[in-house]
Amino acid sequence: MPTAYPLPTNLSPATVANTASLIRIVALALISGAAIASRLFAVINFESIIHEFDPWFNYRATRVLASKGFYEFWNWFDPTAWYPLGRVVGGTLYPGLMATSGVIYNLLHAINLPVDIRNICVLLAPGFSALTAWATYMFTKEMKDASAGLLAAAFIGIVPGYISRSVAGSYDNEAIAIFLLMITFYCWIKALKQGSALFGTVAAVFYFYMVAAWGGYAFITNMIPLHALVLILMGRFSSRLYVAYSSWYAIGTLASMQVPFVGFQPVKTSEHMAALGVFGLLQIVAFAQLVRSHVSSHQFQKLLATGVISIGILGAMAFVLLTYKGWIAPWTGRFYSLWDTGYAKKYIPIIASVSEHQPTAWPSFFMDLQFLVFLFPAGVILCFRELRDEHLFVIIYAVVASYFAGVMVRLMLTLTPVVCVASAVALSTLLDTFVDPTEPEVVDDTRSESGASTISAPGTNGAAPSPTTPATTSKKAKKAAAAAAEHPTTLSDILASSSTKTAKPKGIYGLDTRIMVVLNTICMLAFFVSHCTWVTSSAYSSPSVVLASSNPDGSQHIIDDFREAYYWLRQNTPEDAVVMSWWDYGYQIAGMADRPTLVDNNTWNNTHIATVGKAMSSSEEVAYPILRKHDVSYILVIFGGLIGYSGDDINKFLWMVRIAQGVWPDEVQEPSFFTPQGEYKVDDNASPAMRNSLMYKMSYYRFVDLFGGAQAMDRVRQQQVPKVGPTLDYLDEAFTSENWIVRIYEVKKEDSLGRDLKSANAFAQGKKRKRSKPTTRRRAIL
Partner 1 sequence: MAPKSSPPAASNVVHSLWKAYSDQTSDRMKFIDAFLVFLMLSGVAQFLYCVLVTDYPFNAFLAGFSSNVGQFVLTASLRSQVNPENKNEFKEVSPERAFADFALGSIVLHFFVYNFLG
Partner 2 sequence: MHQRRCKVVCAMHIHGAVNNFLYSASFLNPLNWVKEKLVPSIREKPSQEEVEASKKQAAKEGNRSVFEATPGPLVRQARGKWGLAIPVKKGVHVPNKPHKPRPTAHKYSTANFKISHRKLNMLGRQIAGKPVDYAILQMQFSEKRASSRIMNMLATAKDHAVRYKRLSEPKLVVAESWVSKGPRGPKRLEPRGRGHFGIRTHPNSKLTVVLKEGKTVEEQKKEERARKIRKIVSAAATREDVPIRNPSPTSLGAAVHSEQLWKLAESKFQSFENTAIVRTVELGGSVVHVTTTYAIKATQPGAKVYTIALGLEEKQKTSWLEVKVKGQQTPLDVVHYPLDTSRNFQLLDVALPDVLSLNSTLNLVLETLQTHATFPWPKQASQKEDQALKYQTDLFVLSPYHTGVQRTKVKAPTPRVISYTTPENLQDFTLDAPASKQGATVTYGPYSDIPTSSNNKFIKEHQQPITVHYFHEQPVLEISKLTRTAEISHWGANLNIQDNLVLHNAGPTLKGHFSRLEHQSQSYFKRPAPHALPALTLHLPPGIRNTYYYDLIGNVSTSRLRIAPAAPKNQRASRYSVLELRPRYPILGGWNYTFTLGWDAPLSDSAVYDRSTGKYIVEVPIMTPIPGAVVNSAEVSIVLPEGATGVEFAPPFPAVANRISTHTTYLDSMGRPMLTFEYENLTIMHAQSIFVSYKVPLAAHLRKPFVVGVAFFSVFALAIVGRRINLTIHQKTL
Residues that bind partner 2 (CB under 8 A): 47-49, 111-114, 546, 558, 560, 563-568, 570-572, 591-592, 702, 705-706, 732-738, 740, 746, 779, 781
Q: Which stretch binds partner 1 (CB under 8 A): 155-163, 175-183, 194-202, 561-569?
A: 194-202
Query: What does 257 interact with, of partner 2, partner 1, none (CB < 5 to 8 A by kind)?
Result: partner 1
Going by the DSSP 8-state scheme, the letter that residue 270 receives in this structure is: G
Neighbour-count burial for 112-142, b at 16+ CB within 10 Å, e otherwise: eeeeebbebbbbbbbbbbbbbbbbbbbbbbb
Tell me which of 230, 234, 257, 284 binds partner 1, using CB under 8 A.
Answer: 257
Among residues 259 and 694, whose Cβ is nearest to partner 1? 259
Distance (Å, rounded) from C-alpha 745 to C-alpha 515? 68
Q: Which stretch binds partner 1 (CB under 8 A): 51-59, 199-207, 495-503, 764-772?
A: 199-207
Residues 306-365 that bind partner 1 (CB under 8 A): 306
Among residues 197 and 435, whose Cβ is nearest to partner 1? 197
Query: What does 205 interact with, of partner 1, partner 2, none (CB < 5 to 8 A by kind)?
Result: partner 1
Q: Which stretch binds partner 1 (CB under 8 A): 247-255, 398-406, 438-446, 653-661?
A: 247-255
CA 11-15-16 angle, to 5 degrees, is 75
Query: What does 283 interact with, of partner 2, partner 1, none (CB < 5 to 8 A by kind)?
Result: partner 1
Shortest Cβ 294–partner 1 spacing (Å): 4
Q: Taking CB under 8 A as the rule, does residue 265 contact partner 1?
A: no
Query: What does 255 interact with, of partner 1, partner 2, none (CB < 5 to 8 A by kind)?
Result: partner 1
184 residue type, one letter: T
Q: Taking CB under 8 A as the rule, does residue 296 contact partner 1?
A: yes
Neighbour-count burial for 150-179, b at 16+ CB within 10 Å, e otherwise: bbbbbbbbbbbbbbbbbbbbbbbbbbbbbb
Tell me which of 32, 173, 247, 541 binds partner 1, using CB under 8 A.
Answer: 247
Query: What does 572 interact with, of partner 2, partner 1, none (CB < 5 to 8 A by kind)?
Result: partner 2
Kindly give the pairing relationship between strand 742-747 and strand 634-638. Answer: antiparallel
Among residues 402 and 573, whose Cβ is nearest to partner 2? 573
Tell me which of 97, 117, 178, 243 binds partner 1, using CB under 8 A.
Answer: 243
Tell me which of 239, 489, 490, 675 binds partner 1, using CB under 8 A.
Answer: 239
Among residues 244 and 426, whose Cβ is nearest to partner 1? 244
Among residues 454 and 549, whose Cβ is nearest to partner 2? 549
Contacts of 324 (CB under 8 A, 6+ apart): none
Query: What does 200 interact with, of partner 2, partner 1, none (CB < 5 to 8 A by kind)?
Result: partner 1
Segments of 375-494 assigned E as strands: none
Contacts of 221 (CB under 8 A, 6+ apart): 256, 266, 271, 272, 274, 275
Let me know: does 653 contact 681? Beta carbons within 8 Å.
no
Kindly give the pairing relationship between strand 556-559 and strand 719-720. Answer: unpaired
Distance (Å, rounded) from C-alpha 319 to C-alpha 331? 13
Let me know: does 429 contact 382? Beta carbons within 8 Å.
yes
Shortest Cβ 247–partner 2 spacing (Å): 17
Shortest Cβ 276–partner 1 spacing (Å): 11
Distance (Å, rounded) from C-alpha 154 to C-alpha 27? 9
Query: What does 481 interact with, of partner 1, partner 2, none (CB < 5 to 8 A by kind)?
Result: none
Tell me which of 120, 223, 286, 378 binds partner 1, using CB under 8 A.
Answer: 286
Torsion 171-174-175-176 (CA) sign:
positive
Residues 546-565 that bind partner 1 (CB under 8 A): none
Report which of 36, 210, 45, 7 is spatially closest to residue 543, judged by C-alpha positions: 45
CA 420-192-258 angle, to 5 degrees, is 85
Distance (Å, rounded) from C-alpha 743 to C-alpha 739? 10
Distance (Å, rounded) from C-alpha 741 to C-alpha 748? 22
Among residues 296 and 555, whose Cβ is nearest to partner 1? 296
- What x/- string results for residues 266 through 285 when contact with partner 1 is judged by CB under 8 A? -x---------------x--
Among residues 242 and 730, whose Cβ is nearest to partner 1? 242
Query: What does 454 interact with, of partner 2, partner 1, none (CB < 5 to 8 A by kind)?
Result: none
Distance (Å, rounded) from C-alpha 542 to C-alpha 185? 32
Sheet holding 742-747, edge to edge: 579-580, 634-638, 742-747, 731-736
The 3-state DSSP class for residue 638 equals: strand
Size of the site for partner 1 (CB under 8 A): 38
Among residues 193 and 570, whose Cβ is nearest to partner 2? 570
Backbone angles phi, psi at 487, to 5 degrees: -115, 105
The 3-state DSSP class for residue 87 equals: strand
Backbone angles phi, psi at 404, to 5 degrees: -60, -40
Report which of 49, 65, 74 is spatially closest to residue 100, judged by C-alpha positions: 65
Residues at the interface with partner 1 (CB under 8 A)? 194-198, 200-201, 204-205, 238-240, 242-243, 246-247, 249-251, 253-255, 257-258, 264, 267, 283, 286, 291, 293-296, 299, 302-303, 306, 488
